Structure 1
Amino acid sequence: MNSHSAVSSEAPVSRSVFGAPCWVSLATGDLSAAEKFYSAVLGWEWRTGKLGEQYRFASVGGVPVAGVAAVEFMQPKAFAWTPYFATADADQTVARSQERGGTTAVGPLSFPPGRAALLADRDGAVFGIWEGELVADWEEWRRAAPVFVELHTRDAFDAAIFYAEVLGWASEIKGCCEVHYENEKVVLRSRGDTVAHIHSGAVDSARDPAMRPRWQIHFAVDDVQACVEAALAHGGSLVRLEPDLDQAILSDPDGARFLVNGRAHFVDQR
């Protein structure tokens, strides 16, 4: 950790789970509409924090689980959910990404009590990094609203190498994320939890831009069908329903896609 982010010794910090997803954030064109939509679909409550009125924190049972930022002058298709990965040093992580063919969209910028950057990997999949104090204890965050992230990309092995080198996966540093290959996908684990998958696929030729290399966010819910009905009633849409997987891909009023999974099936499949 460098001196850019002063944090208390008692606060959970990014270096404690470096390389693992530690936050998810949504860019939206209408903050009020997003709050109403996700309250109805996922039961979230809202508050304003240190980042001002244009960034709202969603919580479940008092535990912060996600952030929503109001962003103006964006193309409609740019509104999306983005996973943030914990890092001990944002500057070094950005440098490693650039050295390996990644691109930097924003940052690193200071957002007390930490620093953040928005990057894209070699195939254009967008992800964020966070250095500093975590919004919530990592274990509490994972339990309050289980979040799972999944990358569909051209070559899972190539992507895994990129992220391993950039984020320190499977390194010799104590506490790093473990990387395995299981059931034809790359599996990332942190503290024994499966926190991400990377799949290979024919994404380069996909006609739908949303199906090109991108990180997808999964939320565990008690009732998938109820989430679908709430989404449709509040200006969202159903992209695909997969009853066998107890899963649905939904789109919010801005077109940002996310997945909801039945809680029991979600835990089993991870």
Structure 2
Amino acid sequence: MAATEGAGLGQPCWVSLLTADLKASQEFYAAVLGWTFRAGSFGEGFSVAISEGKPVAGLSDAASSLGVAVSWTSYFAVDDADMVAARVRERGGTVAVGPLAVGRGRVVLAADPMGAVFGFWEGENLPGWRIGSGSAPAWLELRTRDAFAAAMFYGEIFDWAMDRPGRCEVRYEDDAVTVRAGGRTVASLRGGAVEADPDPRIRPRWHVYFCVDDVEKAVEAALAEGGAVVAEPSRSRVGREATLRDPEGGLFTVTQRAG
């Protein structure tokens, strides 16, 4: 986790890979995304990925100890982890871990009613870290069965669409529920028959997009490092992209950097 002046309450404030082999994950993402790494502030087993000199994401070898699948997890900023955890339970979600004191804040790992795992963080966030800006991920997308039901759940626990300064706005556009903050799109929620996917590892989830200079080169590097291609390079509504799986099963999408 990282430390908040970057993201307002209810907004995405960090992404982190829960992995079972930190060293192997660092080698894979260094080759595919060009990241370097430094030790995290939460002790052994944590590291921070650096892109263009700035923190971009976290990596932790806690997947095995927490008993969860290797995955990228999206975190959201809150001011009261206990209150939000109670809201999660009241609305049919599950609190798996926490609130747990970590560094100068508290973290919670939870799942929404459809099973998508997410986290939230009470404490200082990383100044300047904003989705779609600088070194931060380009995009977050909830892939779920019922986008409107999901929007109601997250809207209620994170106070989206509340008439308060800095809160996220929610709207329907481009066949998805779009979450905006400060005039920027920070996430989208898309529905569909996730359970019908032939790959049993595909389930409702928060999916992370990272920018690269060349999608094809990223795909080649992923294959060379033992990863797999889930969706071949193609042009989407936001640009050229490809979805990849790292050797441990972590899913993510690379998208062509604008310009």
Q: TM-score, normalised by structure 1?
A: 0.88
Matched, 1:102 2:96: no
C-alpha displacement of 1:59: 1.1
The amino acid across from 2:244 in the alignment is: L
The amino acid across from 2:224 in the alignment is: A
Match of 1:257 among 248, 251, 257: 251
Q: How does 1:154-169 map to 2 (within 5 A)?
A: 154-169=145-160
**Cα pair 2:48 2:57 within 8 Å, conserved:** yes
Residue deviations 1:34-64, cap 9 Å, x none?
1111111111111112211200000112211
> Structure 1 residues 132 and 151, CA, compared in 2 at 3 Å: closer, same or farther?
same
Aligned length: 254
Q: How does 1:3-82 map to 2 (within 5 A)?
A: 12-13=4-5, 17-71=8-62, 73=64, 78-82=69-73
Of residues 59-68 and 70-79 in structure 1, the stretch that sits farther from structure 2 once superposed is 70-79
Matched, 1:212 2:206: no
SS of residue paired to 1:158:
helix
Identity value in percent: 49
SS of residue paired to 1:37:
helix
Q: Matches of 1:72 and 1:139 in 2, distance apart?
A: 25
SS of residue paired to 2:134:
helix
> Structure 1 residues 76 and 120, CA, compared in 2 at 3 Å: closer, same or farther?
closer
Q: TM-score, normalised by structure 2?
A: 0.91
Structure 2 residue aligned with 1:153: 144
> Structure 1 residues 59 and 136, CA, compared in 2 at 3 Å: closer, same or farther?
farther
> Structure 1 residues 118 and 86, CA, compared in 2 at 3 Å: closer, same or farther?
same
Q: Which runs of 5+ in 2 are unaligned?
A: none
The amino acid across from 1:251 in the alignment is: R
Q: Matches of 1:99 and 1:138 in 2, distance apart?
A: 31
**Cα pair 1:27 1:70 within 8 Å, conserved:** yes
The amino acid across from 1:260 in the alignment is: V
Match of 1:113 among 77, 101, 104: 104
> Structure 1 residues 206 and 232, CA, compared in 2 at 3 Å: closer, same or farther?
closer
Match of 2:235 among 231, 244, 250: 244
C-alpha displacement of 1:29: 1.3
Structure 2 residue aligned with 1:86: 77
The amino acid across from 1:143 in the alignment is: G
C-alpha displacement of 1:136: 3.9
The amino acid across from 2:47 in the alignment is: R
Q: Matches of 1:37 and 1:76 in 2, distance apart?
A: 22
Q: Matches of 2:99 and 2:196 in 1, distance apart?
A: 32
Residue deviations 1:139-183, cap 9 Å, x none?
498312433111111111110000000011101221100101001
Match of 1:226 among 214, 217, 230: 217
Q: Which runs of 5+ in 1 are unaligned?
A: 1-10, 266-270
> Structure 1 residues 172 and 190, CA, compared in 2 at 3 Å: closer, same or farther?
same
